[in-house]
Amino acid sequence: MRYLLNCVYVLLVTAVSPMLLYRRWTTGRYREGWSEKLWGRIEPRNSEAPCVWLHAVSVGEVLQLESIVKGWRERFPDWDIAISTTTQTGMQVAKKTYPDAHLFYCPLDFSWAVRNTLKRLKPSCVVLVELELWPNLILEVDRAGIPLLLINGRLGEKSYRGYRRIRPLVASLMRRLAVVTAQNEEYGERFHKLGVPKNRLHVAGSIKFDRLSTDRNSPATRQLRENFGIKPDAPILMAGSTGEPEEKIILSTWISLRQQFPQLQLLIAPRHQERFEEVAELIQRAGFHAVRRSKLGEKPRKSMKQIPPVYLLDTLGELSACWGLADIAFVGGSLNQRGGQNMMEPAGYGAALLFGPNTWNFADVVEDLKQARACRIVSNQHELITQIGELLRSPQSAQRLGRAAQNYVLSKQGATTLTLNEIEKTLHLTQPETIRPAA
């Protein structure tokens, strides 16, 4: 199978390489890690200590691992921790979040690249986050006799239908997983139907909730408020993880609301790094001063001092803390076709939570929030203006909405402990000498 897969991958890489080169030239993406991705030439690990390899695709998964990494270090302080990611932004955040971990780009699913990575890293176990079913990766790890685990397992309806069409292939991969911890019963049942044996499947909840802060007075959030220069009593509307055309919608919404609520401040945090300049220009074309997080050390021009500011978070790794500034939070990716972005972070801070109807990426969370009356859903700009206006006119309603969201988050915490317990039992880590680095 590996030879067939390698041939297919070579054809795919050849086909998409012109597009990758174009995006590399125009956006700056896809410039790093090609030796690691194509050939597995990662920096060798010069240690005989046992090592866990944690794979997180991009920024979201990288940040999710915080509670797992912290818990692992507390339980198994003698282990090395290695973290791989796929994207350039994921690597930037990983370097900032885990400076003492062994960091590298995950190899593409070529058998030789995976083998070289395993030789250089010598992991004692490999842990995938959410759902990363790359056949050669799984097969090569299995051939090397290294335990392979999937944690925080998530399997949406669309992905499930796709995998079900090739169930014989998927089932052979699923049976190689030593343990799967699923986020909920529904996902767990889907993993089982695709081939994961019941005795290796556990519902632990989502580790996303365990890293969520609920403290608006945390040092990171306080620092952001001070750096931006936002007054403590100024109500803040924050739009986070936004994509086109959501910045234009939220900006127009704020302009409309300012007529009645002149003290209302706007903070925008675009989802993708390559759009920071575009959004800054959008703000300036609308006649406002874009106060950019990345340029707070620069003195504004005199002509800018009288122009109303719009705060722009154009740095990586600070979104979580920034949500702590929001009194009213609009979560992006939900008025376009992205399928929604993580609404649990603003919920943890108790912000009054709004998002659009397109949230299939977080369907289970949205359903829970709706049941708890902890969110409001808007379908267009008119509804957004109406709902935010109502919340501003009735601070008690906004506080009730925020408290319900925060209580939901608090009720869901604890998945990290359950996940680490299952890992410990599966790998018999109560007896560390039974797990050795792979040859």
User: Which CATH number is 315's domain given?
Assistant: 3.40.50.2000
Q: Looking at the structure, tell me whether residues 174 and 208 fall in a common domain.
A: yes
The reply to whether 244 belongs to the active site is: no
pLDDT tens-place string over residues 341-385: 999 999 999 999 999 999 998 988 999 999 999 999 999 999 999
Q: Looking at the structure, tell me whether residues 245 and 274 fall in a common domain.
A: yes
Does the residue 230 lie in any domain? yes
Q: Looking at the structure, tell me whether residues 57 and 134 fall in a common domain.
A: yes
- Of 303 and 103, the structure prediction assigns the larger pLDDT to 103
Q: Quickly state the pLDDT bin for 302 (edges 50, 70, 90).
A: low
Does the residue 243 lie in any domain? yes
Q: Looking at the structure, tell me whether residues 402 and 429 fall in a common domain.
A: no
pLDDT at 126 over 60: yes
Does the residue 99 lie in any domain? yes
Please give the pLDDT value at position 179: 96
Does the residue 121 lie in any domain? yes
Q: Looking at the structure, tell me whether residues 321 and 403 fall in a common domain.
A: yes
Which residue of the set 32, 36, 61, 277 is catalytic? 61
Q: Quickly state the pLDDT bin for 430 (edges 50, 70, 90).
A: very low
Does the residue 4 lie in any domain? no
Please return the burial class of 281, using the count of CB atoms within 10 Å of its CB with bins 0-12, 13-18 and 19+.
exposed
Tell me the β-bridge partners of 150: 128, 180
The C-alpha angle 223, 317, 208, rounded to 5 degrees, equals: 110
Does the residue 14 lie in any domain? no
- Of 250 and 298, the structure prediction assigns the larger pLDDT to 250
Q: Looking at the structure, tell me whether residues 47 and 149 fall in a common domain.
A: yes
Q: Which of 342, 297, 302 is nearest to 322 (CA)?
A: 342
Could you tell me the residue range of the domain that residue 418 belongs to? 27-212+414-434
pLDDT tens-place string over residues 132-171: 789 999 999 999 999 999 999 999 888 999 999 999 999 9
pLDDT at 202 over 50: yes
Average pLDDT, the chain: 91
Of all residues in the chain, the percent with pLDDT exceeding 70 is 90
Model pTM greater than 0.85?
A: no
Please give the pLDDT value at position 303: 58
Does the residue 390 lie in any domain? yes
pLDDT at 231 over 70: yes
Please give the pLDDT value at position 73: 96
pLDDT at 437 over 70: no
Count the domains in the chain.
2
Q: Looking at the structure, tell me whether residues 72 and 112 fall in a common domain.
A: yes
Q: Quickly state the pLDDT bin for 434 (edges 50, 70, 90).
A: very low
Mean per-residue pLDDT for 170-195? Answer: 95
Q: Looking at the structure, tell me whether residues 371 and 426 fall in a common domain.
A: no
Q: Looking at the structure, tell me whether residues 169 and 255 fall in a common domain.
A: no
Q: Quickly state the pLDDT bin for 4 (edges 50, 70, 90).
A: confident
Q: Looking at the structure, tell me whether residues 33 and 67 fall in a common domain.
A: yes
Q: Looking at the structure, tell me whether residues 278 and 308 fall in a common domain.
A: yes
Please give the pLDDT value at position 15: 74
Please give the pLDDT value at position 307: 83
Q: Looking at the structure, tell me whether residues 277 and 406 fall in a common domain.
A: yes
43: domain CATH number is 3.40.50.11720
Q: Which two tokens stand for residue 378?
A: 């808007």
Please give the pLDDT value at position 435: 46
pLDDT tens-place string over residues 5-59: 767 676 776 776 666 555 656 656 666 788 999 999 999 999 999 999 999 988 8
Does the residue 151 lie in any domain? yes
